[in-house]
């Protein structure tokens, strides 16, 4: 997926700053996913048997907000003003 993002950023924009914004934003999405997985592992290990409400609560905010923010950055860079 990251390779597709890099190729798209390179072909759709011409400036280095725009490349950095578009690629860096998706790298941050991947970092959020890794942190989310680490938090889930720790909570599962400490909490014993995971409850369904715990799993839903853990992923309810971080994942969608990072993806929406990445999409907003792409829209603002590709369609300025």
Q: Which residues are catalytic?
A: 33
Q: What is the 3-state secondary structure (H, E, C) of the chain?
A: CHHHHHHHHHHHCCCHHHHHHHHHHHHHHHHHHHHHHHHHHHHHHHHCCCCHHHHHHHHCCHHHHHHHHHHHHHHHHHCCC
């Amino acid at each position: 997926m990251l390779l597709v993002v890099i190729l798209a950023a390179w072909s759709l924009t011409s400036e280095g700053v725009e490349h950095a914004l578009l690629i860096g934003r998706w790298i941050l999405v991947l970092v959020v996913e890794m942190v989310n997985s680490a938090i889930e592992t720790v909570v599962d290990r400490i909490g014993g048997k995971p409850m369904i409400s715990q799993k839903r609560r853990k992923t309810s905010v971080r994942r969608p907000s990072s993806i929406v923010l990445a999409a907003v950055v792409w829209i603002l860079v590709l369609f300025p003003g």
